Amino acid sequence: MYNRKNPLFLPLLFSIFILACDSQPNVEDLQLKLKKIEAEIRTKQLETFQLKKEINSFGVQDKSTENISLVNSIVAEKKPFAHYFEIQGQVASKKNILLTPELGGIITSIHVEEGEKITAGTLVATYSSSIINSNIEEIEEQLDLAQYYFDKQKSLKEKGVGTDLSFKEAQNNYNRLLKAKNTLLEQKSKFSLYAPFSGYVDKIFVSVGQVGGPASPVLRLISLNHMYVAANVSENHLSRINKGQFVIIDLPALNEKIEDLKIKRIGKQIDPVNRTISVEVSIPSKEKVIPNLMAVMNICDYKDTSSIIIPTSVLLENTRGKQIVKTIENNLVIVKEVKTGYQYNNETQIISGLNPGDVIITNGKGSVIEGQKVKVSNK
């Protein structure tokens, strides 16, 4: 047993504790050691590659590599590239209305059916106008008498017998009754409802015998000739959108895409509730493209006519967090660091690090290392 009263006990225990702490590995030291080893590996790989390349230049086959890996490859080339960002929207029509009468009354007849395609000016519904008809009949009788009296006074005046006062009174009375009749006829026309434009009768809301008025819509009329896609875009994207910008509309329900479209309108205020701005894109008319159909608006915010574009799947990341691509030169693997740009639709734009004509390893890239001899088999 230790003698705790021994004055050498505590210093000895403290020294053992310090030595134990010092023996624990330091994370920074380990990371530094790892980087040093990785640098040595890269140096050795590069030396190996250069030696194999030099040996091959003499026409001597390197027999030290017994296992030659089979890989697939593509050739880097320049081509047009465009980047899009997606916004969910919906299809709408500029002509989609609830048709209502100007005056109310009992509906006496409905002249159209749901789903029917009608033209502008088609009679849609008729309301009872019996009171107006009675008033028109009454005023027509008064108008006949007023016209007779006016004609008589006009004849007497032409003969120089009648007075100007009697003629003026007859003329004013006739004109007053004629205007009253025209007013009643105008009111009577309000009891007949007509289609303001050509379109489809989507739904009828009333029945014959029902009392209707300006607050009671008769039917919904929709035109499919003035279609557009509307979306609410976050204000964070405001700097990325402009009028005339190219757009691709995706209609998932129809499994269809409409290309070569442009932004027609951008709203002039931000919605204070959801912090979005409205964007509209006109689309061509099609039978199944109908209002409220879900649509995805793909807005092009970047285009380049000539960039090196590679599949995103061929990109790798090295231990230093840099993006790399494994290429082939003289049947040997070369690792190249690359700087990437935009990514879209499983393709990535290469800003630097690759040249047109470089052979890029696709399948098999994960099983080969720099300097290793490979054989291309694009089958």
What is the CATH number assigned to the segment(s) 99-221? 2.40.50.100
Question: For the domain 85-96+222-303, what is the CATH code?
Answer: 2.40.30.170
Say how far apart CA 103 and CA 213 lie, in whole Å: 6
Kindly report the three-state secondary structure assignment for every residue of 13-48: HHHHHHHHHHHCCCHHHHHHHHHHHHHHHHHHHHHH
How many Å apart are CA 365 and CA 68, to the nearest integer?
13
Q: pLDDT of 169-201, one tens digit each? A: 888 888 888 888 887 677 777 778 899 999 999
Burial of 212 (0-12, 13-18, 19+ CB in 10 A): buried
Residue with tokens 């004509």: 357
Per-residue confidence (pLDDT) for residue 2, from 0 to 100: 45
- Structure confidence at residue 377 (pLDDT): 81
Quote the pLDDT of residue 34.
79
Computed from CA positions of residues 330, 335, 341, 343, in that sequence, does the dihedral angle turn out positive or negative?
positive
Domain ranges of the chain: 44-81+305-376, 85-96+222-303, 99-221
Query: What pLDDT is attached to residue 65?
Result: 47
**Two structure tokens written together for 289:** 């493209």
- Under-50 pLDDT residues of the chain: 1-5, 65-66
pLDDT of residue 210: 85
The label of the residue with tokens 């009028």 reads: 243
Integer angstrom CA distances of residue 308 from 181, 277, 338, 353: 79, 35, 11, 10
Return d(Cα 118, Cα 112) in angstroms, integer.
8
Task: State in words which class domain 44-81+305-376 has.
Answer: mainly beta
* pLDDT the model gives residue 1: 45
Tokens encoding 194: 């007509």
Distance of CA 305 to the CA centre of its chain: 23
Residue 165, pLDDT score: 84
| CA separation for the pair 351, 313 (Å, rounded) | 17
pTM: 0.63
Fold match between domain 44-81+305-376 and domain 85-96+222-303: no
